[in-house]
Amino acid sequence: MITYTETLKLPLAANHLLSHLQSITIQLYKPLVCDYTHSYELQTLPDFRLMEGAIVPPHSDGIAGYRPILMLHNPSNSYTIRGTEQIFSPQRQGTLVILDIDAQHEVHSKDPNARLGNWSGVVWGLNGQPLLKDEWSVEQVTAMAKQDFLKLCETIHGKLKPSNIASTPRNAMAIC
């Protein structure tokens, strides 16, 4: 179940962030070709995971916790992360989602028969783990996730060569 959602103003275009994260996965990055989701640990970023997937059927992770996800790629804005009883629009690039992983949730597609490719997001949590409800409130998770996702973008933006970053005003301060 989604407990919070907001589109963030990122200091780095989501496609640049995604490309950089794909280049620093500990396990060799390969686009997902089977299963529902795959998560990659990232070099020097123990609190973040790169996650990608396709349609994910309704399920509960069985952990009373939250998982903050920053959507980086959503082909044709087709995929929607949501609680099974919730109605949301597909998340655009740069959308922060706080997911209650104990409640039934899924990734839904507007067109389940289309071959749109995978969605990708970056997940935050202490050592990449879900944030437990008995230790964190939704407000605390939201505040820390926003802060850490923005800090991640700023750090990576500083590492990228200026020639790798589009110079248009929209991409310089991208609203992804």
CA distance 18 to 21: 5
Per-residue pLDDT of the chain (176 residues; tens, 9 = 90+): 999 999 999 998 999 999 999 999 998 888 766 668 889 999 999 999 999 998 899 999 999 999 999 999 999 999 999 999 999 999 999 999 999 999 999 999 988 777 778 999 999 999 999 999 999 999 999 999 999 999 999 999 988 866 555 433 333 333 32
Using only C-alpha atoms, what is the Rg of the chain?
A: 15
Q: How confident is the model at residue 86, as a pLDDT? A: 95
For residue 99, what pLDDT is reported?
A: 97
pLDDT digit string, tens, across residues 45-66: 999 999 999 889 999 999 999 9
- The pLDDT score that the predictor gives to residue 62 is 94
Write down the pLDDT at residue 173: 32
